[in-house]
Amino acid sequence: MAHQLLIIVSDGRIQENVGRVKPYVKLATERGIFIVFIIVDTKSSILSIRNPIVDERQQIRLEPYMDSFPFPYYVIIRDVTNIPQTMADALRQWFELVGQK
């Protein structure tokens, strides 16, 4: 059960290897921390970013950045004035989640 709520507000661009972040997200979840990631997007949208991936045949393909985003619960907003409402919604939903358990 999630006893704690962690809200991260960022541009969502993880500079380090995404694979290094995933175990920490999993550990936080196992310790009862519910993580909500609020991505403040820009005109050069995070949804248009592609990562090069080398497959088993040594072929390079481009994969959408968000396909490997390590946080399972995220919201993308483009207008910073929506941050307070988004945070309030996340908090309300977390209270509902905790209340159900």
Secondary structure of the chain: what % helix, strand, coil (to 5)? 40, 30, 30
pLDDT over threshold 80, residue 16: no
DSSP symbols for 40-74: E--SS-GGG-EEEEE-TTS-EEEEEGGGG-S-SSE
Whether residue 2 is predicted with pLDDT greater than 70 in this model: the reply is no
Which of 27, 31, 99 lies closest to 70 in space, CA to CA? 27
Average pLDDT, the chain: 90
* Two tokens, residue 59: 């072929």
Arithmetic mean of pLDDT, 26-53: 91
Please report the pLDDT score of residue 10 as a whole number. 94
Q: What is the pLDDT of residue 1?
A: 60
CA distance 2 to 94: 8
Q: Give the three-state DSSP class for 75.
A: strand
Model pLDDT for residues 80-94, shown as the tens digit of each residue: 999 999 999 989 988
- Write down the pTM of the prediction: 0.83
